[in-house]
Each structure stands twice: as structure tokens, then as C-alpha cells.
Amino acid sequence: MIRTRFAPSPTGFLHVGGLRTALYNYLFAKSHNGRFILRIEDTDQSRKVPGAVENLIETLKWANVTPDEGPEFGGDLGPYIQSQRLEIYRQHIQSLIEKGHAYYCFCSTDRLDALRKQQIAEHRQPRYDNRCRTLSDSDIRKRLANNEPHVVRMKTPETGTIEIHDLIRGNVPFPAEQLDDQVLMKSDGYPTYHLANVVDDHLMQISHVIRGEEWLPSTPKHQLLYKYFGWDSPQFAHLSLLLNPDKSKLSKRQGDVAVEDYRKKGYLPEALINFLALLGWNPGTDQEIFSMEELIHEFSLERVGRSGAIFNVEKLAWMNGHYIRTLSPEKLFQLSSGFLPDRSGWSDSQTISVLTAIQEGLTKFSELPDKTRLFFTEKLNYDIPDIQEYLAKPEAVTILESLVSQMEIVQDFNGDSFVAAIKTVQKTTGIKGKPLWMTIRAALTGETHGPEIHVITNILSQETCACRLQLALDYARRQTSRN
């Protein structure tokens, strides 16, 4: 049974890199009929953020990367929140101490800091000097009885090489003397990542650990821990990191990193997932668009790349536009709620025709207020250079006077009859082509681009159009008389 897990710390919003890690775990598990587990690694009390767990779960659900087990998802191997498993860790640390693979350390943080500073000053490798390894049993008992603050460290080998096998990177050797006597239990009684992670992955029967590359250097320590416990270690696969456009590690400051940010801007989960899947993985074919089902079917760790990938928002935007174009009118309307500006006086079905009219040019829902303004606005603004280029001309007065009078006699107002009216204007005024059409577009919408005129006038009422044209005519007259 393949079992994978996503094990975030609840320190804030879910990061897009985190979502990619979760996704790869999910896809790998699902493609092998396995299970995907969510575990919350909240062993650092100082970094805990209230509400982060709920937000994490909510975001995973939104993205459709839904755990089979985890807090709120059930499962037989819980609890799935590490702060609720302290007793389990305590017992395991005790067994390690008894077997001689771990030891109490009473060194103060002051001493540790001083030690590190000195080592750096002497250009030596900063690491613990193993001082408490050799404490006598009676000494330890006495200091424990005195309630002296202490941690528990693991005993690492002094020499030799520890080689780990990574599914993506192959065999990676690490010289043992590089390994620090890592702290396993902190003085507050909480385990560190290294201990809790190994214990939980074993107890939760995780078969494959798929995580970020930042964990590669500590994997030999984890491997050692499995050996000390007498357990088989899971398989490892370390994913490359997501990068900023300047190739530094993806971070706030250079753009949005929280999944939440993209959701708020109106990116669809399908697009974000499709995009993230292709950042470091490819199917070996030319296919670019994948549904979650297709991803599950196609995904394999063998085709995951080794180098870091820049998070290219432009491609995500293209992909999002692609998914938006496939939306049915009803779905489009449903998803646009929360992004629409005030549209009092507009029914849902009228709103749907507005949305359909601008659908093909939409790349994300946050553009909605801008792109729908020409329909919903109460008052058009002609006082911008692009518009004045057309309306502040004597020609505009001629065109609009003619069109306004046409409006009074037009029958069955709609896109077609309005276009017919424009043709009449063309005949009577002799003005044609871009000057004619753009002037009318400017008058009608206050913008120089948008959907086709007949599409717009199919939606806008005759009254609205007549009113806007009259307003534009007045404006054109004022502008030209002034000059």
C-alpha cells in the first residue's frame, strides 16, 4: 500500500510551493491507488499561528488536493496533529536513550551560542562539541532530579559515510563527521522536526516521503534514526524548490506566494493545479492541459525534474484564461460572485450575458470590475485622452447628431438594428471606417476597446444607448465649440 503525506507547519498561509509538494504527494498516492495523509507539524510553539490549520485544510479542499486521512478527515493512525502526540514521542526518545543512541544534554543556549561564535571565528564548522555525551549516570540522575533544563540529542557516528537513496536524485553520500548531534527533544518537552517526523512517518506507515529539497541534507540523520529504532525507512524523493524570477528562493516581496493570493485574484484551482503540476514534472508528450484525473493517470516520479523552477505568473495567467474560456455561462456567473462591481438594476440573466460578452478576454476574475465597467457604470467618463481623440472633433458632432436622430426612429432595438442605424449614418454623413466606428464605441462605452458593437448593444437597452449617445454629443459640442 502506497501512503504519502503532506506535513506542513501551521505558521501562516499555504505557500504555492507547499501546494505543489502536496499535489505531487497526492498524485503519486492516487496513481498507485494509495492514500494521501495530512499531518500538522506544530512542534514549534513560538511559530504557531491561530487559524492556520483551518486555513490550510480549507485551501487544500479548494485546490481539490483532498487528504484521505488527517485532522477533519479521519483515519485510524491519528491523532494527525503532532502537539497531540507528545506522549508517543516521549516514549520513543526514552527507548533511544536506553539503547544508547541518544543522551541528555544540559548545555545552555548561552554556551551553545558562544561555542558557535568561536567556531565561526576560527573558521571551523559550527556544530555541537558533544560535551554531554560523556556525562556520568549519577551526574545525569542528579541534574534531572534538580529539574535542570535539558534537551535530548541523538548520537551520530564520528566516521564513515551515510548514503541515502533518493528516487529523484539517486544515491547521495554524506560524510558522517558532518552530522551534528541533533537535538531530538527540546527543553520545553516538544520533539524537534527530525524526531517527530521519523516517528510519525513510521507509525503512520508512510511508504514514500516526497518533500522539498531543503530536507535533503538532514535525510542522513533521519536514516540513522530509522536504523536506531530498528525500522525500515520509507523511500525518499526530494523535490526542487520554486524560485523567484531572479532565481532566488520563491518569496514574498517578489510577488504572491500564498495560494490564498491567487484564489483572491480569481485564479481557478484547475489552472493553478495544472500549472503547478508542470513546474518540475512533464508527461513526455506535448500535452499542456491536464485535468486532475489525467494528472493522476499520467504522473510518475521518474519524470520529475531535478532543477529549480521559476514561478512564471504569465504562463499561469494564460492557463487560467484557457480554463475560464471553457466555463459555461452559469458556472462563469457563479464563480464571478464576489468579483463583480455594483450592478443594481441588472438581473442575473442580464449579468450572464455581460459576462459571456467579455469571457474570452478574461484571464482572471479580479479583472471583472474593469472589464464590465462599460456595461454597469452609471456615468461614463469621456475626459481621457484616448476618448477625446475621437469625441473632441467636429466629426464626432456630425456622427452623433445623425445617430441620435436615427435612434428616435429605430424599430426593434438590438445589435442588428443598431448596426443598421450606423450604416445609415455612414450614408448620410459620408464618414466611414475606423473614425465612424471608434467614435460610436467611444460615445457608447467611454473606452477604446471591448466587445463588438452589436454585442454591446444587444445587452444595453435602447434608453441607455440613446442617453449615452446624447451625453457624448453634448460633450463633443462643448469640446469643439471651446476650440
Partner RNA sequence: GGCGCCAUCGUCUAGUGGUUAGGACAUCACGCUUUCAAUGUGGUAACCGGAGUUCAAUUCUCCGUGGCGCUACCA
Catalytic residues: 252
CB of 351 to RNA, least distance (A): 19
Spell out, one character per residue from 298 to 327, where the chain touches RNA: x when CB under 7 A holds, - when not.
-----x-xxxxxx-x-xx-xx--xx--x--
Of 355-384, binders to RNA (CB under 7 A) are 360-361
Between 64 and 248, name the residue whose CB sits nearer to RNA: 248
Spell out, one character per residue from 56 to 95, where the chain touches RNA: x when CB under 7 A holds, - when not.
----------------------------------------
Of 230-269, binders to RNA (CB under 7 A) are 240-241, 243, 247-249
CB of 232 to RNA, least distance (A): 23
* d(C-alpha 414, C-alpha 138), whole Å: 96
Between 248 and 478, name the residue whose CB sits nearer to RNA: 248
Of 19, 151, 162, 374, which lies in the binding site for RNA, with binding defined by CB under 7 A? Answer: 151
C-alpha cell belonging to residue 154: 541523538
Between 207 and 445, name the residue whose CB sits nearer to RNA: 445
What is the full DSSP assignment across 48-98?
--TTHHHHHHHHHHHTT---SBBTTTB-TT---BGGG-HHHHHHHHHHHHH
* d(C-alpha 333, C-alpha 347), whole Å: 12
Whether the Cβ atoms of residue 274 and residue 289 lie closer than 8 Å to each other: yes
- Residue 133: CB atoms within 10 Å: 13
Type and span of the H or E element at 149: none
CA angle in degrees (0–180, nearest 5) for 259-263-264: 115
Residue 180 sits in the site that holds RNA (CB under 7 A): yes
Of 114-143, binders to RNA (CB under 7 A) are 116, 123, 125-128
Of 429-468, binders to RNA (CB under 7 A) are 432-434, 436-438, 441, 448-453
Of 182-211, binders to RNA (CB under 7 A) are 183, 186-188, 190, 192-193
CB of 33 to RNA, least distance (A): 25
Whether the Cβ atoms of residue 221 and residue 193 lie closer than 8 Å to each other: no
Spell out, one character per residue from 381 to 410, where the chain touches RNA: x when CB under 7 A holds, - when not.
------------------------------
* d(C-alpha 378, C-alpha 313), whole Å: 34
Residue 13 sits in the site that holds RNA (CB under 7 A): no
Between 7 and 443, name the residue whose CB sits nearer to RNA: 7
Of 173, 255, 341, 394, which lies in the binding site for RNA, with binding defined by CB under 7 A? Answer: 173
Q: Number of residues in contact with RNA, rule: CB under 7 A?
A: 85
CB of 341 to RNA, least distance (A): 19
CB of 192 to RNA, least distance (A): 4
- Under 8 Å CB-to-CB from 59, ≥6 apart: which residues? 13, 14, 19, 259, 260, 263
- Residue 293: CB atoms within 10 Å: 9
Instruction: For strands 235-239 and 208-212, give the pairing.
Output: parallel
CB of 481 to RNA, least distance (A): 27
DSSP 303: G
Spell out, one character per residue from 268 to 287, where the chain touches RNA: x when CB under 7 A holds, - when not.
----------xxx-x-x-x-
* d(C-alpha 143, C-alpha 135), whole Å: 11
Q: Tell me the residue type at 153.
A: R
CB of 328 to RNA, least distance (A): 16
Residue 107 sits in the site that holds RNA (CB under 7 A): yes
* d(C-alpha 215, C-alpha 220), whole Å: 10
Of 31, 44, 58, 335, which lies in the binding site for RNA, with binding defined by CB under 7 A? Answer: 44
Of 74, 160, 217, 394, which lies in the binding site for RNA, with binding defined by CB under 7 A? Answer: 217
* d(C-alpha 479, C-alpha 468), whole Å: 16
Whether the Cβ atoms of residue 65 and residue 75 lie closer than 8 Å to each other: no
Between 30 and 221, name the residue whose CB sits nearer to RNA: 221
